Amino acid sequence: MGSLTDKVAIVTGGSGGIGSAICKRLAQEGAKVVVHYGGHADSANEIVKKIKTNGGEAVSIQANLSNSDEVMKLFEEAQQQFGGLDILINNAGTGVVGPATEMDEAAFDKVFGLNAKGTFLCMKEAANRLNNNGRIVNISSGLVVRPMPGFSLYCGSKAAIELMGKVLSMELGDRGISVNTVSPGPTKTEMYANSGDDTKAAAERSPFNRLGEPEDIADVVAFVVSEKCQWITGHTFQAGGGYV
């Protein structure tokens, strides 16, 4: 039996690179996984299919995370499907790259609407629904500690969720619920590939001289939601191969 047998997990942005790796990793540990997606139904359904093929349980659910009503429906449907909720992984995110002087209100609303507001709404909903001794993990970025030009909105939104998570960890500790952050460095995903970063230079920032794989991040998340991590909360795990 896996370390997460009979646990129920929601993974937002579960159809993407890091998200899909997290979904599959948690399922390997026995969790029943809700693969959330915003607009990539085919990708989400493919992840569900792979999990079921390997003997796991999973469903895909669509929701606009910047809308509180849709977030509520996501959690309600997850509970209806599996009868409870133990783990929330806030992985969904987006970015707009460019100088701050070129960022307009629409760019701000896009990035903060999903990364910050969406994460907050999910944490709020989870706080009211998680079983005792549950787990919340927010996926941030090493750019919060090691920022680069062109990422002002992305860095700001990720910094916001790290601090919101720290506060929530104080508010939920009496129920045994931990709230932590996993902060990847440069990782081989479509989003990173579109960022325009120099992949060779990024790899050289790590002592391992390579970019991260989505599975590297998923392994850290699996540890953070396990019982082995029950005494750690309000913490940011740097999962960047020494990037920070």
Which whole-number Å values give the CA distances from 119 to 113, 205, 228, in the listed order?
A: 9, 29, 25
29 backbone dihedrals φ, ψ, rounded to 5°: -85, 5
Alpha-carbon gap, residue 101 to 146, rounded angstroms: 20
The Cα 32–Cα 9 span in angstroms is 6
Torsion of CA 108, 110, 115, 120, to 10 degrees: 90
Q: Which residues are tagged catalytic? A: 140-141, 154, 158
Question: Using CB atoms within 10 A of its CB, is residue 83 exposed (0-12), middle (13-18) or buried (19+)?
Answer: exposed
User: How far apart (Å, rounded) are the C-alpha atoms in residues 1 and 154?
Assistant: 39
- Whole-angstrom Cα distance, residue 139 to residue 18? 9
Q: d(Cα 54, Cα 173) in Å, to the nearest integer? A: 35
Please calculate the CA angle 233-235-236 and round it to the nearest 5 degrees: 145
What is the amino acid identity at position 26? L
